Amino acid sequence: MDKTIICRCEEVSLEDIENTANTYNCSAREVKLRTRAGMGYCGGRTCRPAVDAVLEHVTGEKAGHAIPLKVQPPVRPVTLSVLGGNLNDD
C-alpha cells in the first residue's frame, strides 16, 4: 500500500483512502467524512484537487457537488502580532 500523504492537515494517506473505500464500499463523500480528508486547517484549499482525483480513481465517482464539502476561510483574519502574543497592534 502507498503511504503517500494526500491531506497534510489531517495526515490522511493514499492507503487510508483506499482502505476506507474498500472496507465500507462507500461513496467519495463518505470516504471524505470517514477519513477527514480535506477537512483540516486549510479547509481543503491545499489538498482538495488531489483528494478528489484520488477518490475518482479509487471509487470511480467524480467529485459531486450536490452536498459540497465547502472550502471555508477562517472566521476572521488576525494580525501576526496577535498570533505571536503581542496584543498591541501599535
Instruction: State what percent of residues in the chain have pLDDT above 70.
Output: 79
Whole-angstrom CA distances from 44 to 22, 69, 80, 85, 90 are: 23, 9, 22, 27, 34
- How many C-beta neighbours within 10 Å does residue 86 have? 11
Whether 63 is covered by a domain: the verdict is yes
The single-letter DSSP state of residue 5 is E
Task: Give the integer Cα–Cα distance in Å for 10 and 35.
Answer: 8
Residue 61 lies in a domain: yes
Residue 56 belongs to domain spanning: 5-83
Specify whether the CB–CB gap between 55 and 32 falls below 8 A: yes
- The enclosing H or E element of 20 equals helix 14-24
Domain count, the chain: 1
Confidence grade of residue 19 (pLDDT, cut at 50, 70, 90): very high
Average pLDDT rounded to a whole number, residues 44-56: 85
